[in-house]
Structures are given as C-alpha cells and as structure tokens.
Copies of this chain bind each other. A is one copy, B any other.
Amino acid sequence: MKTLASYLAGRWHRADRDLQTLVNPASEEPLALVSSTGADFAGALDWARKLGGPALRELTFAQRGEILKALSKRLREHRDELLLLSRMNNGTTASDGSFDIDGGGGALAVYGNLGLALGDRRHLVDGVGDQLAKTEAFWSQHVQVPRPGVAVHVNAFNFPAWGFAEKFACAFLAGVPVITKPATATALTAHRLVEIALESGLLPPGSLQMVVGSTGDLLDRLGVHDVFAFTGSAATALHLRSKKNLLAASVRVNVEADSLNAAVLAPDAAAGSPLFELFVKDVAREMTQKAGQKCTAVRRIVVPGAVEGAVTEALAARLAKCAPGDPVDEAVRMGPLATEDQLRDALDGIAELLATADLVFGSGVRADGLGAPAGKGYFVGPTLLRSEVPLEKSPVHHREVFGPVATVLPYDGSARQAAEIVALAEGTLVTSAYSNDADWVAAFLASGGAYTGRLYLGSEGSEGVGSGACFPQSLHGGPGRAGGGEELGGLRGLTPYLQRVAVQGSRPHVDAVTGARP
C-alpha cells in the first residue's frame, strides 16, 4: 500500500514509522498510509523564508496571477482523477466532489484574475491619500506589502481541494510562501493536488510545501512575520492559538471553526408560495450536501410558528429521497461521513440535541448504506429535530453536529426574535433569510447582522446556489464560535498576508515612492 509523502525543503519525505491508515468511508477498505515522523520542519521553514519568500516577492501581482490561472487549468485537466480520489477517501458523490474540486479550481482562477487586474505592482495601494497639513507638503498614503514570513495552513477533512486552494491562492497572490497540511484522514485528494501543482513546474521553488500527518513542532517555530490559518473545530483552534510563541510574537492567526448556521424564513412566505418552496429546497440541500459535512451547512431552521407544520412536512418529503449509500452507485445522492470518529461524534451530537429537541425525521442512529457491505461504512441518514424552547440556551445553539442534521425552531415572525435566536449560537459563518420584504430583511440585518459573517438572501427572482457555497468574492468567516477569522472576500482575503504601512511625507515624494499616482 502506498505511503503518502510530505514535500518539505525541496524533497519528498516518506516516513516509515507511526503510520496511520486512510480508508474508504463507505467500505472501510484501506487506501494509503500516512506519517510525517522524521520530517525536518525547521528546514522547511528556512526553505520557505529564504528561498520561497524572496522569489515570490520578486514577482508582480500579475505574474503570480498568471501562475494561479495556469494552476487552475492544470487542476481541471486532472479533474476526473481527483473526483475519483475524493469519492474513495471522502465518500463524496460526483456532485459533492465537484463542489470541492471545481470550487478549488474556481478560487485559483478568481484570484488569478484579481492578480492580473492588479498588474505590474509588488505592493497594494490602499485607499486614497490624506492631506495632513495646510498644503500637500505633508501627506499620508497607505500601502500593503507582503509579509516576509511563511504561511502555515492547516485544513479541515471535508474540503481537501477547496480548503487547500482558497488559502493557498490568497497567500500566494500576496507573495507569501505556503506550507499546507491537509487533514490526515482524507489527505488523498489534497496530496495528489499538491503533487500536480509541484510537478507542473509553475511554482517558484520554496513557494509551496506540504505536510501529511502531524505538524510536529512546526507551529512552535512560527515567529513574528509568519501567518497561521486554521480550519477545524473550535476546541482545536483554541488549543493551537493559545501557543505562547504565537501570542508572544503577535503571529497573525486566522481561524474558521464551529458554526451553528441558521436559515430564517420571514413571515411573508406563505406555505406553498414560490418563496416557501425555494426555502424548503435550499434547506434540504444545505442539510444533505456532502452529508452535512460543511462548516456552512444549515443547522437551525428558524420558521414562523404559523408555517412550522408545512415546513416540516415539505422538508421530510425531500429528505426521504436522500438515503445514504456508497457513491460508487451514481443513483446515491448522499455519501457516508468521512471517518469513524466523525460518525461517533455525530451520533453523540444527535443524542445531545435530543435533550432539548424531538426527532421528527430520521432514526438518530447509524444506518447501513445503499450498496455498502452490511455493518460497514460511516452512514447516517438525514435527521430533522424540533425544539420547543428555541429561545433558551441549549445544545441546539452550541453543539455542531457535523452530519445531515438540523433542528426546526419556531419563532414569532419578528426580525428581532429571529435575530435573538441566531445570536444564541454566539457567532456563525452564514445565516440565510428568505423574504421578498426588503424592510424586514433590513431590520434583520440591523438587529442580527453582527452575529454572522455572511447573510444569504433568498427572494423571488434570486438565483443563488445556496447558502453553503463559499464564493471567492465574498467573505468567509464569522465572529465568536466561528473563529473570528476572515478569508476570501476578493482582495480582503490577502489581508493576513500583507502588512499595512502608512507612508507619510510630501505628496510628490510619497506618490513617487508608493506609485499611488502614476
């Protein structure tokens, strides 16, 4: 069986100790071995800082953009191979795999185009200048310059391709070399993707390295100009961001963590109306896509008491079509959870939710998968709960069950009470609001907008693809429990990798130095 190697300091490191086994989550068949034991992390950091960083900072934004676009093309050429690896190691259907892999390619391409638009520069001009005295003899202009460190990216198991690509694109375009670490249990896709990127010859040496397996002492070696970005659980995030070297050196840490995302139906959507149908269709998809293993999946369904019965009934009808199975069968619409640990955690989570909620659809226990050997595979069927006490602090608002599981929460139809319910989660990545009434939504934004990083609006005539999709143009991140980070959002995504500098002096001199007025 193949052992996946790490790529560090210009060579492939293949460990022969402490090996972990990757498996197919639909069949539990072993796929590959992984370990990073013996890897030289000090050497990897040195290689990035001394070779990768200077090489990247020599390139203009446009040159880095060209490379990202070419990488996106290379990824498309290998799409079928990557989809297969995703199905084998992540248990994804073709549609779920595309969400990850084409999403990753899209992020590379969008940032490639942003780089081309920035053109022949090596720093960003940030806003317009300000006159500080009575004449232009004292002037201020902000710029943003690449940080002379390395970015370490620790990604989550659910999006091996997109998670790599969206973080890498931002750091690379900013001019900062990357050491990426896919989640060990589902490393197959990201490993191959990085292999493709390295084999392409497009990347300056030192600009991309990869750890498969443990990060060892890598994070303990980060210092003042480095950046650490993490996607995963709030508990792991707390452990990692508490490291003394990170705090002492003010290392920039960007976290995406747990999120109890809410979908809110406004009172103007009558049962059976097009808006109501859009809501039900979107929520059902956001619950079951990737078997609910999205940090942006809907976990809380906030609906006016008057239509609660109609929503539950319509949702149940849709969920009934999503029995889990081995996605090797193209008729299967929902795959397994990714690992045995995830299965155990999801079942524990459902049990926890049941303390203050009732089951209205699904079994709450492990299922056998369609086309999978009996007793094998990490399957959970779609599970819908309902809480009588939506306004109370309860597990429904803080226990993220990473599977096809959500809870219906009735409310009085006011924007204020909907915001109050959203707030109980103490920070989400995305909240959605379905209404044709812009005044209602504006009131909801005013009272509840601060609890989320993204507000997805469903309305008649909207053609969004659902609240779960992260577009490179829009912020991905949220306050509090969601980690307090900011990723993507166009050029905003470059912020952690750049140092903002206020350049002050006489205007002609400042303009000549910064290129602010060409």
User: Measuring CB to CB, which residues of chain A are less than 8 angstroms from any residue of chain B?
Assistant: 57, 122-123, 127, 130, 132-133, 135, 137-138, 140, 142-143, 145-148, 223-225, 234, 238, 241-242, 244, 247-252, 255, 257, 423, 426-427, 436, 438, 441-442, 445-446, 449-459, 461-465, 467, 471, 473-475, 479-486, 489-490, 492, 499-506, 508-510, 512-514
12 A-B contacts, Cβ less than 8 Å apart? A130-B473, A132-B464, A133-B465, A140-B473, A250-B255, A250-B479, A438-B512, A457-B506, A457-B510, A463-B506, A464-B506, A474-B504
Residue in A133, A146, A475 whose Cβ sees the most chain B Cβ within 10 Å: A475
- Is the pair B501, A475 in contact by a Cβ cutoff of 8 Å? yes
Q: Which residues of B sit under 8 angstroms from A459, Cβ to Cβ?
A: 505-506, 509
- Is the pair A514, B132 in contact by a Cβ cutoff of 8 Å? no
- Is the pair B143, A464 in contact by a Cβ cutoff of 8 Å? no
A183 vs chain B, min Cβ distance (A) = 21
Residue in A244, A250, A251, A257 whose Cβ sees the most chain B Cβ within 10 Å: A250
Given contacts A224-B481, A225-B450, 8 further A-B contacts (CB under 8 A): A130-B474, A130-B490, A147-B479, A242-B244, A249-B480, A453-B500, A459-B509, A462-B506
- Is the pair A474, B509 in contact by a Cβ cutoff of 8 Å? no
A271 vs chain B, min Cβ distance (A) = 22
A210 to B397, CA, bound (A): 34
Q: Which residues of B sit under 8 angstroms from A489, Cβ to Cβ?
A: 142, 500, 502
Contacting residue for A502 out of B147, B450, B455, CB 8 A: B455
- Is the pair B458, A122 in contact by a Cβ cutoff of 8 Å? no
- Is the pair A450, B145 in contact by a Cβ cutoff of 8 Å? yes
A190 vs chain B, min Cβ distance (A) = 26
Q: Which residues of B sit under 8 angstroms from A486, Cβ to Cβ?
A: 500
- Is the pair A426, B249 in contact by a Cβ cutoff of 8 Å? yes
Given contacts A453-B500, A457-B513, A462-B505, contact A252 B475 (CB under 8 A): no
Given contacts A138-B463, A250-B427, contact A132 B471 (CB under 8 A): yes
A496 vs chain B, min Cβ distance (A) = 11
A106 to B350, CA, bound (A): 56
- Is the pair A143, B480 in contact by a Cβ cutoff of 8 Å? no
Contacting residue for A457 out of B133, B473, B479, B503, CB 8 A: B503
Q: Which residues of B sit under 8 angstroms from A513, Cβ to Cβ?
A: 438, 441-442, 445, 457
Q: Which residues of B sit under 8 angstroms from A146, Cβ to Cβ?
A: 450
- Is the pair B501, A452 in contact by a Cβ cutoff of 8 Å? yes
- Is the pair B138, A462 in contact by a Cβ cutoff of 8 Å? yes
- Is the pair B140, A474 in contact by a Cβ cutoff of 8 Å? yes
- Is the pair B499, A453 in contact by a Cβ cutoff of 8 Å? yes
A450 vs chain B, min Cβ distance (A) = 4
Contacting residue for A456 out of B137, B438, B461, B504, CB 8 A: B504
